[in-house]
């Protein structure tokens, strides 16, 4: 079915092909990608868009000695297939299978592990400098998308790379923002010309010749900039010290290969701008690249068929609440760092476009931007994944918490996230949030409580965070009122014997189930900060064993808050902390991962029985 692709078990095999065979390989690789992802789920649109680029990079560069650093990693499936992992693609994003992102432990061709964006240029620069220090000719290539280029870290790295004059290549894969439109054959011709040695040598030689005539040299430089500026958008990158080439058609293999071969021979920092189409070659994905960005299993012939939603997800609950609260308060503004669909803000963006702000992949900016809005009387709601909030920790402390500003964080994907694995897990937020002064931190046990907590957080005039998991909860009925909960108060959910389970957030349901066989008391703690100390102390006085359960790392988490409370009051009682272990949890089915961590009902009951005092 894939006669050419099946002969490629490594880039060495790829480099044995004649150039005229590469378009056929691209055709087979694209078809394989559609078939493979339809069976496993994963990121499709972006991978279809980088087929030709991936082939050209491995064809020209001597990987793995030359380093390819992929930004984010959403676009690396073709790379995995061409580097010896074709036969195990059916295990993609599954437990004990291959990861959905580059992973150093998985292959020597994965030069750098990536799951968060805008890191590739920094990492590739480090590798380029390492090669220079070692005195070898290894090359480093950063492949970054236009979305990731909105991250400030990318520009920090560009600035440093130009100053260091390192031998590296940055490939900008422009597939969405349309930074500029390719001008067809003329642009491709210019790219080949400007990447060639003759043009580079001519420019260098002209500078030497004209150095004795400074006014003429300055005129020549300005003339070159103006000429290039008329046909390319590279002025910014040139000013940062890069030799800008492009934009070129990222699906034209002949132009890609020729241009990359030329660039491979150049010294100093190079910048290649290519334009590609997300979903290229698969009609369904070309029509709706957002829908096919991250997909579950689907029929490759008919595409994704919408299925009725049995239960609303927490993301949907947030989206509905956001629209309702915006209708009630015209001071509400919604902010997202490039996660409109993922965070459930599509309807809000349509209804309130003047109050909706997508700041791009710029989490640090998102929080300080929110702080500025809060200073002038607005009530910002920042919708952000737990894993991405980690990137803006300083801004949360310095710009929001110290100034005690009313910025609300709606933190999605708290806890484990299944197939996306360790890079996307929200394992640490309860730990790193609760230590910040002025913060209020809460975690809902079900969908209805999530809506109430969102309202409670918004009504406060201080920094707040509502942390909820990926997917749906218990299926609880969700009221439409904007109810407020008493701040810092938990609730007793089951009265039992000598064991008290203090459940935080999503762990309430398995805790209640485990309690049935143990005859344990169960409380829904609701607030991580401020902790309901009165409830904790009353439970400690009435029981022989306290058990804390949370979908967060045990170190420094909600359970630690309980232990600190008991210590402050001089109460000594056996206490068992259950939560995520001190390790990075890899990808797999969410329920199975929780069970492996002992956080399902059976695991909770088993751990408690082992701990029971004699």
pLDDT of residue 181: 41
pLDDT of residue 233: 61
What is the per-residue pLDDT across 504-521, written as a single tens digit (0 to 9) for each? 999 999 999 999 999 999
211 is catalytic: no
307 is catalytic: no
Could you tell me the two tokens for 604?
Answer: 């909770």
pLDDT band for position 405 (50/70/90)? very high
pLDDT of residue 307: 67
Tell whether the model's pLDDT for residue 189 goes beyond 80: no
Tell whether the model's pLDDT for residue 197 goes beyond 70: no
pLDDT of residue 194: 57
C-alpha span between 347 and 318 (Å, rounded): 11
Tell whether the model's pLDDT for residue 603 goes beyond 60: yes
Tell whether the model's pLDDT for residue 177 goes beyond 50: no
* Residue 164, H or E segment: helix 152-164
Tell whether the model's pLDDT for residue 178 goes beyond 50: no
Burial class (CB in 10 A: 0-12, 13-18, 19+), 4: middle
Taking CA atoms, 262 is separated from 60, 128, 145, 198, 265, in Å, by 10, 18, 22, 10, 6
- Which range has the worst mean pLDDT, 192-206, 266-280, 388-402, 479-493? 192-206
Tell whether the model's pLDDT for residue 139 goes beyond 80: yes
Could you tell me the two tokens for 527?
Answer: 């607030």
- Which range has the worst mean pLDDT, 78-82, 202-206, 542-546? 202-206
Neighbours of 227 (CB within 10 A): 10
pLDDT of residue 296: 85
pLDDT of residue 144: 94
Bigger pLDDT: 604 vs 223? 604
pLDDT band for position 202 (50/70/90)? very low
Cα four-point dihedral sign 192, 194, 195, 200: positive
The catalytic position among 67, 278, 280, 355 is 278
Tell whether the model's pLDDT for residue 125 goes beyond 90: yes
pLDDT band for position 146 (50/70/90)? confident
Beta pairing partners, 142: 69, 170
Angle value at C-alpha 9, between 7 and 13, nearest 5 degrees: 70
Angle value at C-alpha 387, between 384 and 393, nearest 5 degrees: 80
Could you tell me the two tokens for 82?
Answer: 């061409």
Mean pLDDT for the chain overall: 90
The catalytic position among 67, 139, 391, 434 is 391
C-alpha span between 569 and 416 (Å, rounded): 33
Rounded to an integer, the average pLDDT of 66-81 is: 92
The catalytic position among 363, 447, 449, 551 is 363
Cα four-point dihedral sign 590, 511, 506, 443: negative
Contact 390, 432 (CB under 8 A): yes
Contact 466, 444 (CB under 8 A): yes
391 is catalytic: yes
Could you tell me the two tokens for 598?
Answer: 């002992």
What is the per-residue pLDDT across 324-382, written as a single tens digit (0 to 9) for each? 999 999 999 999 998 999 999 999 999 999 999 999 899 999 999 999 999 999 999 99
C-alpha span between 113 and 69 (Å, rounded): 8
pLDDT of residue 27: 96
Bigger pLDDT: 605 vs 185? 605
Rounded to an integer, the average pLDDT of 463-491 is: 93
Tell whether the model's pLDDT for residue 213 goes beyond 70: no
pLDDT of residue 536: 98
Tell whether the model's pLDDT for residue 168 goes beyond 50: yes
Cα four-point dihedral sign 520, 521, 525, 526: positive
Beta pairing partners, 553: 580
* Residue 123, H or E segment: helix 120-134
What is the per-residue pLDDT across 350-363, written as a single tens digit (0 to 9) for each? 999 999 999 989 99
What is the per-residue pLDDT across 225-284, written as a single tens digit (0 to 9) for each? 444 444 446 788 888 899 999 889 999 999 999 999 999 999 999 999 999 988 898 888
pLDDT band for position 182 (50/70/90)? very low
Bigger pLDDT: 373 vs 308? 373
Tell whether the model's pLDDT for residue 71 goes beyond 70: yes
Query: Smallest Cα–Cα separation from 466: which of 418, 508, 414?
Result: 414
CA-only gyration radius of the chain, Å: 27
Query: Smallest Cα–Cα separation from 389: which of 421, 358, 360, 424?
Result: 424
C-alpha span between 217 and 608 (Å, rounded): 79
Bigger pLDDT: 285 vs 308? 285
* Residue 499, H or E segment: strand 499-503
The most confident of 213-227, 267-281, 455-469, by mean pLDDT:
455-469
What is the per-residue pLDDT across 285-305, written as a single tens digit (0 to 9) for each? 888 888 888 888 888 888 887
Write a three-state SS string for 274-320.
EECCCCCCCHHHHHCCCCCCEECCCECCCECCCCCCCCCEHHHHHHH
pLDDT of residue 227: 46
Of all residues in the chain, the percent with pLDDT exceeding 90 is 75
pLDDT of residue 204: 54
């Amino acid at each position: 079915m894939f006669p050419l692709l099946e002969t490629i078990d490594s880039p060495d095999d790829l480099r044995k092909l004649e150039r005229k065979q590469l378009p056929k390989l691209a055709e087979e690789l694209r078809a394989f990608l559609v078939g493979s992802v339809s069976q496993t789920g994963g990121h499709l649109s972006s991978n279809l868009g980088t087929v030709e680029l991936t082939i050209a990079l491995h064809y020209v560069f001597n990987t793995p000695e030359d380093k390819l650093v992929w930004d984010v990693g959403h676009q690396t499936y073709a790379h995995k297939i061409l580097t010896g992992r074709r036969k195990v693609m059916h295990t993609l994003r599954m437990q004990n299978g291959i990861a959905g992102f580059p992973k150093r432990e998985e292959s020597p061709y994965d030069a750098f592990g990536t799951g968060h964006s805008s890191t590739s240029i920094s990492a590739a620069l480090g590798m380029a400098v390492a090669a220079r220090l070692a005195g070898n000719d290894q090359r480093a290539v950063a492949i970054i998308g236009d979305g990731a280029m909105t991250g400030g870290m990318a520009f920090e790295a560009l600035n440093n790379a130009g100053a260091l004059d390192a031998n590296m290549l940055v490939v900008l894969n422009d597939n969405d923002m349309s930074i500029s439109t390719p001008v067809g054959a003329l642009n491709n011709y210019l790219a080949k010309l400007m990447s060639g040695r003759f043009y580079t040598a001519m420019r260098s030689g002209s500078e030497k010749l004209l150095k004795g005539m400074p006014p003429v040299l300055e005129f020549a430089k300005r003339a070159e900039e103006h000429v290039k500026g008329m046909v390319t958008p590279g002025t910014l990158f040139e000013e940062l010290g890069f030799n800008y080439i492009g934009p070129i058609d990222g699906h034209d293999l002949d132009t890609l290969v020729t241009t990359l071969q030329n660039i491979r021979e150049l010294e100093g920092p190079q910048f290649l701008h290519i334009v590609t189409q997300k979903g290229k070659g698969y009609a369904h994905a070309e029509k709706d690249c957002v829908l096919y960005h991250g997909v579950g299993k689907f029929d490759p012939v008919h595409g994704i068929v919408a299925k009725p939603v049995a239960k609303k997800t927490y993301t949907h609950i947030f989206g509905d609440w956001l629209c309702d609260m915006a209708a009630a308060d015209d001071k509400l503004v919604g902010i997202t760092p490039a996660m409109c669909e993922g965070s459930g803000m599509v309807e809000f963006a349509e209804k309130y476009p003047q109050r909706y702000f997508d700041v791009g992949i710029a989490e640090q900016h998102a929080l300080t931007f929110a702080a500025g809005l809060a200073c002038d009387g607005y009530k910002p709601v920042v919708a952000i994944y737990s894993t991405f909030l980690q990137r803006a920790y300083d801004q949360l402390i310095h710009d929001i918490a110290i100034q005690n500003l009313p910025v609300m964080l709606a933190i999605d994907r708290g806890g484990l996230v299944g197939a996306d694995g360790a890079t996307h897990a929200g394992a640490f937020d309860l730990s790193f949030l609760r230590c910040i002064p002025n913060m209020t931190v809460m975690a809902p046990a079900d969908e209805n409580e999530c809506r109430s907590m969102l309202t409670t957080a918004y009504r406060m005039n201080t920094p707040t965070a509502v942390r909820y998991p990926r997917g749906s909860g218990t299926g609880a009925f969700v009221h439409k009122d904007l109810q407020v909960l008493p701040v810092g108060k938990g609730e007793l959910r089951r009265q039992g014997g000598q064991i008290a389970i203090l459940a935080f957030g999503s762990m309430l349901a398995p805790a209640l189930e485990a309690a049935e066989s143990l005859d344990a008391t169960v409380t829904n703690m609701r607030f991580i900060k401020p902790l309901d100390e009165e409830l904790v102390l009353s439970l400690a006085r009435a029981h022989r064993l306290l058990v804390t359960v949370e979908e967060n790392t045990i170190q420094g988490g909600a359970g630690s808050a309980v232990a600190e409370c008991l210590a402050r009051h001089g109460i000594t009682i056996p206490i068992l902390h259950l939560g995520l272990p001190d390790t990075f949890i890899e990808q797999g089915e969410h329920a199975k991962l929780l069970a492996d961590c002992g956080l399902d009902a059976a695991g909770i009951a088993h751990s408690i029985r082992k701990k029971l005092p004699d």
